[in-house]
Amino acid sequence: MTLDFVSLLLSKESPAQAGVTLSQALRDWTGIGTLGIAKREDSEEQKQRDAERAKDNRDVSLGWALLDIETTKASADKAASHLSREVEREAKYWDEVLAVHQAGWSMCRLPAERHTLASPEFRNSSLAPLRRGDDGTALLQHGRVGAGSQRLSITVSRSGETTGRLAIGSSVPDSALLPDRVLEARNTIFAQELWHELHREAHSLASYGVRANNDSINFNPTSGPSLTLELETLDDSAATVSASADNVLAEATHLGLHILLSHAHRLNELQRLRPTPPHQRRNQAQNQYHLFRPIIAKILYDRTVEQVTSFAGDLTRILRRAGVEAASFTLNTPPCPTAELKNTSGGASNRPNASQALTNMLTSPADFQIELTLTPTARLQIRGRTFLLPLTTTQFQLQLLPSLAEPTNTEPAPSTLQVSYPPSRDPYPDFSSVQLYLASAAAHALTDFAMSLIPPSPSQSSEPTRAEWIKSVRGTAIRDIETETREIRFDILNNDPEGRSTLQIGAAWRAGDKPLVKRWAWPAVGEGAGKSASQPQVSDIVAAVVQSKEI
């Protein structure tokens, strides 16, 4: 019905368009164009009312526009003040960041929080974001470090008593400058990584006296000081450490461990810079760092040098007291060529500088040599080398030197030990085997020296009396082969409780019809060392036995 009404109304103006929607029944009943509409002209009153209504609408619209402008102005003022405060905060934040950068720390953007070049164990500690606080202060996020500061402490003990300790200092307060807090966080991360690597390495050093548990790492060598390493949390105030001579040892060990870990980081960096072979995977497992092993090697080297020097000194001392004035020894250790190390890297990052070359030299095998003179005709050289890998041990090489006697021709006279008791051509694995050889070699050399002291026969015969004397099968005694009543035996004993050497000479002979058997001892140390000065010397004993006289 409505459609028919509207269609009939429009049929007067547009009959063709209206006829489409007009029903056939209405068209037959009324026809097309029978209904129309027209608008009359408004009166003056209506026009006035419409003008007033339009003016009110314009005033309301203008009021709202003014209110919007005022609101926009207030918002702009608020944004300007906020931007001003934000500029101050940003300036304060970047000033602190710039101070950290000027202090030498590496700075970078953080495109992703998981980006890191550290090992998986310290993935959350390799990078420390600097977040901006509400007041513009740069906040250092510690990550896995936490709020506490930690350091590696070292305690030195001898015979179960503490004789030295490292002073680890106190923690940095929260009110400290940002570069100081960054340094404190870095030192804590470094100490944690050092403790982690030491704990990994300690399990492979059990044969050297290293024991590790969750709280400490203990190194108990067979002789010398013991070391105890712990990871301690710093307090607000530094703990006082009493003065002791072993404090220097604790500090040197602490410094050496830090240098070795930094050196290991440098080697990893150089390895990443080199091209990886095609057959090798880039993300291989991280090799174990050797941090505590060089410390053990240094202690082993010093202990070995001390042992060999002490034993050579004992041999020299007892031989000189027995009358062998030529007995002496000289220790030669390679100096540290710090003045010869120059920075030849030329700015290249893949070549070691002077400090890295020095660290490489310190971690290389350490050598020493001792030239030992037993008698004028028996000299030898002891070479020792302490290896770091694959086993941390010291091997020895013994070599005979020419004798000090006058040469019969242009060539120097060979050592008498070359015939009587030559050393092995293979390296000696430990000091005990070297000590065993040197003790026997000293007895053989003293036997050869005694043979040279036998005076010639007073008869007119050109054959000397020494032809009547021969060495025993063992080579440490001389005896008269004609009467078999005279014999002199030489022994180097190490049965002292402290392991010090003692020279013993035993003689059996006849002075006329009186049989004599005597023993003399020259200890290196102890109560008998002072009495040995009043005892006869080797030359006196040989002369008395050969001439069958009392002494």
Give residue-wise pLDDT tens across range 317-332. 999 999 999 999 999 9
Q: Choose between 405 and 248: higher pLDDT.
A: 248
- For the ranges 19-33, 189-203, 474-488, the lowest mean pLDDT is seen at 19-33
Q: Is residue 118 predicted with pLDDT exceeding 80?
A: no
Q: Choose between 54 and 4: higher pLDDT.
A: 54
Q: Is residue 122 predicted with pLDDT exceeding 70?
A: no
Q: Choose between 417 and 358: higher pLDDT.
A: 417
**What's the CA gap between 288 and 261, in Å, rounded?**
11
Residues 6 or more apart whose Cβ sits within 8 Å of residue 386:
297, 300, 301, 304, 365, 366, 367, 392, 393, 394
Is 136 in contact with 90 (CB distance < 8 Å)?
yes
Mean pLDDT of 77-100: 87
**What's the CA gap between 320 and 26, in Å, rounded?**
154
Alpha helices in 234-281 (DSSP H): 247-273
Residues 6 or more apart whose Cβ sits within 8 Å of residue 92:
135, 136, 137, 138
**What's the CA gap between 503 and 322, in Å, rounded?**
8
- Give per-residue burial for 10-38: e unless 16+ CB within 10 Å, then b: bbeeeeeebeeebeeebbeeeebeeeeee
CA dihedral for 334, 338, 341, 345, sign (positive or negative): positive
**What's the CA gap between 421 and 444, in Å, rounded?**
7
Q: Is residue 497 predicted with pLDDT exceeding 80?
A: no
| C-alpha closest to that of 360 among 427, 290, 409 | 290
Q: Choose between 127 and 428: higher pLDDT.
A: 428
Give residue-wise pLDDT tens across range 199-252. 999 988 998 999 999 899 999 988 888 999 999 888 765 666 778 888 999 999
Give residue-wise pLDDT tens across range 530-548. 566 678 899 999 988 888 8
**What's the CA gap between 287 and 529, in Å, rounded?**
54
**What's the CA gap between 375 and 326, in Å, rounded?**
6
Give residue-wise pLDDT tens across range 250-269. 999 999 999 999 888 888 87
pTM, whole model, 2 decimals?
0.72
Give residue-wise pLDDT tens across range 286-318. 578 889 999 899 889 999 999 999 999 999 999
| C-alpha closest to that of 178 among 139, 234, 144, 151 | 139
Of the pLDDT bands very low, low, confident and very high (cuts 50, 70, 90), residue 464 is very low
Paired residues of 216 in beta bridges: 230
Query: What HEC string does 287-351 produce?
Result: CCCCCHHHHHHHHHHHHHHHHHHHHHHHHHHHHHHCCCCCCEEEEECCCCCCCCCCCCCCCCCCC
Mean pLDDT of 19-36: 79
Tokens matching residue 419: 């015939």
Is 439 in contact with 492 (CB distance < 8 Å)?
yes
| C-alpha pair distances (Å), 424 with each of 374, 398, 428, 447, 448 | 18, 7, 8, 20, 20
User: What percent of the chain has a predicted confidence (pLDDT) above 90?
Assistant: 34
CA dihedral for 355, 356, 359, 360, sign (positive or negative): negative
How crowded is residue 331: how many other Cβ atoms within 10 Å of its Cβ?
15
- For the ranges 221-225, 385-389, 505-509, the lowest mean pLDDT is seen at 221-225
Residues 6 or more apart whose Cβ sits within 8 Å of residue 484:
none
pLDDT of residue 123: 54
pLDDT of residue 147: 53
